[in-house]
């Protein structure tokens, strides 16, 4: 059976001076429209209790273009401007669904520089991609071929902090096929000393990408701190700092892709722990190491690849005592400090802390599949109520 999935293919490209100027203007206009629409929606609800949706903001955009002050919005393609209003609507939808925080304003220096084009605003023929308001195609480095017969539905152009230009083409990929079932199951315990410990006993080392470039990063940041704000020298050194960060992120992402692809191909069922990384990084002693390990990105890759290839990923509740539970006899230890890497149970079994945790996670995950998918026991307070924080309901502006 073939599954048709939407898949984004990302490539580097080198714009001409005219193309770079046009895209920079587009990025600025996209940011301006997004911020103005967000301010209008917020002000309408706070002052008049009035709800503003996408259609209303689209009408506002038409009115803004007719003013002398914002006439420059007519100089760029209208499609990216309309798309940013759709993205704002999606952001509010996620907020009202309690899946995200309230939308924030885009900063000129810190926000991602990007613009999205739909089929009416680009032309893709014979491997040449031409965007609206441009006469020449982009010089794309086609590092891998698109699926045969693929027709991009949207094209997203972006520039990262290191000054690199990227184009992402969203296509239907008919080549994604579920893998044959093999019946293999594996439990995975994440850590810092070893990035992953599998229930098979295999340990995958933590490459610590950030630590490898820490000296170069610190040197560039010290140099940046000495430059005058707003100067050309500061902009030049800031680019050096961004390039070090980009190199670290690229190596980390490449490694995670290789690991997750291998795990999905080899195993039918993968059991992980449902960690709240955003709370764990509040520990300032471990925040840097946890961020470098990228546990959230690892889980995200694992889940979408498992969905593509017909595999199952089970997340065991984070309060499950996987490290303190003996995988042989089921005895629960009272305490297990982090410095204890090996321990002996009363039954005589000696455990490696991480391997034992992976065994327990696998057993708990398989029990969930038997009892019913999605079963996650909640931690209870002494009064018997769930310890899950109850948030006040949000009212829609």
Choice among 22, 210, 273, 292 that is catalytic: 273
Is residue 189 part of the annotated active site? The answer reads yes
DSSP 8-state code for residue 115:
E
User: What is d(CA 193, CA 289) in angstroms, rounded to the nearest whole number?
Assistant: 10
Choice among 189, 213, 266, 274 that is catalytic: 189
Q: Convert the chain into a string of H (helix), E (strand) and C (coil).
A: CCCCEEEEEEEEECCCHHHHHHHHHHHHHHHHHHHHHHHHHHHHHHHHCCCCCHHHHHHHHHHHHCCCCCHHHHHCCHHHHHHHHHHHHHHHHHHHCCCCCCCCCCCCCCCCEEEEEEHHHEEEECCEEEECCCCCCCCEECCCCCCCCCCCCEEEEEECCCCCEEEEEEEEECCCCCCCCCCCEEEEEECCCEEEEECCCCEEECCCHHHHCHHHHHHHHHHHHCCCCCCHHHHHHHHHHHHHHHHHHHHHHHHHHHHHHHHHHHCCEEEEECCCHHHHCCCCCCHHHHHHHCHHHHHHHHHHHHHHCCCEEEEECCCCCCCCECCCCCCECCCCCCCCCEEECCCCCEEEHHHHHHHHHHHHHHHHHHHCCCCCCCCECCCCCECCCCCCCCCCC
User: What is d(CA 105, CA 32) in angstroms, rounded to the nearest whole number?
Assistant: 10
User: What is d(CA 170, CA 156) in angstroms, rounded to the nearest whole number?
Assistant: 8
Is residue 273 part of the annotated active site? The answer reads yes
* Dihedral sign (CA 388, 392, 393, 397): negative
Among 282, 142, 284, 297, which residue's Cα sits nearest to residue 209?
297
State the first-to-last Cα distance of the chain, in angstroms, to the nearest integer: 45
List, by residue number, the catalytic residues. 189, 273, 354
């Amino acid at each position: 059976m073939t599954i048709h999935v939407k898949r984004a293919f990302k490539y580097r490209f080198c714009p001409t001076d005219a193309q770079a100027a046009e895209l920079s203007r587009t990025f600025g206009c996209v940011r301006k429209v997004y911020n103005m629409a967000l301010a209008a929606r917020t002000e309408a609800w706070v002052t008049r209790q009035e709800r503003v949706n996408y259609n209303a903001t689209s009408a506002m955009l038409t009115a803004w273009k007719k003013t002398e002050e914002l006439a420059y919005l007519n100089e760029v393609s209208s499609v990216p401007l309309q798309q940013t209003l759709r993205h704002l609507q999606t952001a509010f939808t996620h907020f009202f669904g309690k899946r995200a925080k309230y939308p924030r304003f885009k900063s000129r220096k810190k926000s991602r520089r990007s613009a999205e084009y739909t089929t009416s605003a680009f032309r893709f023929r014979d491997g040449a991609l031409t965007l609206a308001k441009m006469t020449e195609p982009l010089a794309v480095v086609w590092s891998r071929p698109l699926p045969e017969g693929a027709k991009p539905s949207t094209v997203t152009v972006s520039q990262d902090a290191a000054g690199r230009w990227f184009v992402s083409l969203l296509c239907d990929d008919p080549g994604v096929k579920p893998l044959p079932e093999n019946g293999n199951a594996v439990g995975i315990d994440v850590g810092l000393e070893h990035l992953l410990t599998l229930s098979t006993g295999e340990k995958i080392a933590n490459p610590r990408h950030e630590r490898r470039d820490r000296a170069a990063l610190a040197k560039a940041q010290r140099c940046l701190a000495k430059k005058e704000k707003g100067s050309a020298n500061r902009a030049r050194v800031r680019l050096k700092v961004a390039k070090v960060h980009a190199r670290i992120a690229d190596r980390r992402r490449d490694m995670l892709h290789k690991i997750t692809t291998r795990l999905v191909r080899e195993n039918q069922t993968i059991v992980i722990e449902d960690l709240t990384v955003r709370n764990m990084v509040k520990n300032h002693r471990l925040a840097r190491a946890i961020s470098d390990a990228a546990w959230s990105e690892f889980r995200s890759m694992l889940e979408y690849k498992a969905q593509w290839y017909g595999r199952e990923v089970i997340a065991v509740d984070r309060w499950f005592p996987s490290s303190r539970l003996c995988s042989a006899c089921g005895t629960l230890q009272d305490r297990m400090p982090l410095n204890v890497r090996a321990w002996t149970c009363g039954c005589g079994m000696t455990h490696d802390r991480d391997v034992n945790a992976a065994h327990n996670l696998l057993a708990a995950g398989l029990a969930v599949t038997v009892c019913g998918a999605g079963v996650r026991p909640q931690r209870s307070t002494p009064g018997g109520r769930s310890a899950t924080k109850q948030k006040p309901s949000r009212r829609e502006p």
